[in-house]
Amino acid sequence: MSINSAKKVLRIEAKAIKDLLKSINANFADAVDLILSCKGRVIVTGVGKSGLIGKKIAATLSSTGTPSFFLESAEAFHGDLGMVLGNDVVLAISNSGETEEIKKLLPFFKKIGNKIIAFTGKRNSSLAKKSDVVINIHVKKEACSLGLAPTASTTAALAMGDALAIALLEKRGFKKTDFIRLHPGGALGRRLILKVEDVMITGENIPIVGENAVIVDAVKEITKKKHGFTCVIKEKGKLTGIITDGDLRRAIGQSVNFNEQKAKEIMTSTPKTIEKQRLVAEAIAKMEKKSITSLVIVDKRKRPVGIVHLHDLLGRSEFKVK
C-alpha cells in the first residue's frame, strides 16, 4: 500500500511539472527581461512552505549569476524591509495569492518603486492583480491525500524557479569560469578549479613501452606501474597507441605469442588523450562519456607527459564532499 501511495505522489507531482509548460510563455519571457534589466537584486519572498522554496530559488539565482536574497515575509515589517532598495525586483511566491503577510508588503514595494513578479496558482488573486508579471504555477491537485499539505504546488514553484534561473543564466552568457568564481569551496569548486596538470601522474610513473617491444615487456610494464595499461610510443617518443588489460585478454583469445609478437600488433591505435591545461572536470566527463578509465596527457608533439586514472581522481580528497 505504501509503495502505491508513493508512486501516486510522484505521478501527481510529475504531472504538475509537466503542466507548467503552458506557463512558459510571454509572461515568463517578460519576467526574464525584467530581471535582466534590473539594476539591483532579486528579492524572493514567501511564507511557510513557499518560503522554504523561496530560499532555494534565491540561492539558485545567486549561484548562477543573478544576485538575490530571501526576505521572510513575516519578518519584513520588523526591520528587514531596510534591505530592500527601489531598484530591486521582487519575486513573491504564494500559491493562493492571498497570503496576508505578502499582501501587506505589496504597498511598500510599490511605494519605493519595486517591480513585482508573482509565482501564484490564482491568476485573479490579490497578488496577481498587484504584480507587474504573473507566472502561473497552478496545479490541479496536491499530492497530499487530504488535499491540505502543500506538495505538488511547492514542487511546481521550485521547478519554475529553476527554469527562471537557468533561462537567466543562458541569457547572461554565464560561463563555467563564472560558476567557478562563485563556487570556490567544496568538492564541486575544487573539481572545477583544478587542472589536469595539477593531478596527473608524471615521470617514471608513466607506463611506457616502444611499439617494437615484445608483448611480454608490455605486460611487465603494466604490472610494474599498476595502472592497468601502458602507453606505446614510436622511436621519437610520439604516442602511437595504448595497451590495456582488455587488449591483452583479446590477444590471449587469439593465441598471440607474447614472447615474439610486438606491442604495436595488439595495441589500441586511437588512444584517448587530453591536454594538461584542461580542467579535471573535463577529464572526468570525457572518461565517463567514452566509458574508459584512463587518459594520456600529451604535449604539442603528441608525446606522453602524464596520465590520469578515473578511479584515482574520484578517490582524491579534493573531490570528496566534506
Cell of 238: 610520439
Q: How many angstroms separate the first and last alpha carbons of the chain?
A: 38
**More confident call, 125 vs 191:** 125
Cell of 208: 611506457
| pLDDT-derived band at 322, boundaries 50, 70, 90 | very low
Residues near 191 by beta carbon (within 8 Å), at least 6 away in sequence: 279, 280, 281, 284, 318, 319
What is the model's pLDDT at position 99?
94
Could you report the per-residue pLDDT of 56-102, keeping only the tens digit for each? 999 999 888 899 999 988 888 777 788 899 999 999 999 999 999 99
What is the model's pLDDT at position 189?
59
Q: Average pLDDT over the chain, rounded to whole?
A: 89
Q: What is the pTM of this model?
A: 0.63
Could you report the per-residue pLDDT of 19-65, keeping only the tens digit for each? 999 999 999 999 999 999 999 999 999 999 999 999 999 999 988 88
Average pLDDT over residues 249-271: 91
What is the model's pLDDT at position 181?
60
3-state secondary structure the chain: CHHHHHHHHHHHHHHHHHHHHHHCCHHHHHHHHHHHCCCCCEEEEECHHHHHHHHHHHHHHHHCCCCEEEEEHHHHHHCHHHHCCCCCEEEEECCCCCCHHHHHHHHHHHHHCCEEEEEECCCCCHHHHCCCEEEECCCCCCCCCCCCCCCHHHHHHHHHHHHHHHHHHHHHCCCHHHHHHHCCCHHHHHHHHCEHHHHCECHHHCCEEECCCEHHHHHHHHHHHCCCEEEEECCCCCEEEEEEHHHHHHHHHCCCCCCCCEHHHCCECCCCEECCCCEHHHHHHHHHHHCCCEEEEECCCCCEEEEEEHHHHHHCHHHCCC
**More confident call, 187 vs 34:** 34
What is the model's pLDDT at position 235?
80
**More confident call, 204 vs 185:** 204
| pLDDT-derived band at 289, boundaries 50, 70, 90 | confident
Domains of the chain: 2-174 (3.40.50.10490), 196-319 (3.10.580.10)
What is the model's pLDDT at position 321?
43
What is the model's pLDDT at position 176?
66
Exposure string for 43-56, b = 16+ CB within 10 A, e = fewer? bbbbbebbbbbbee
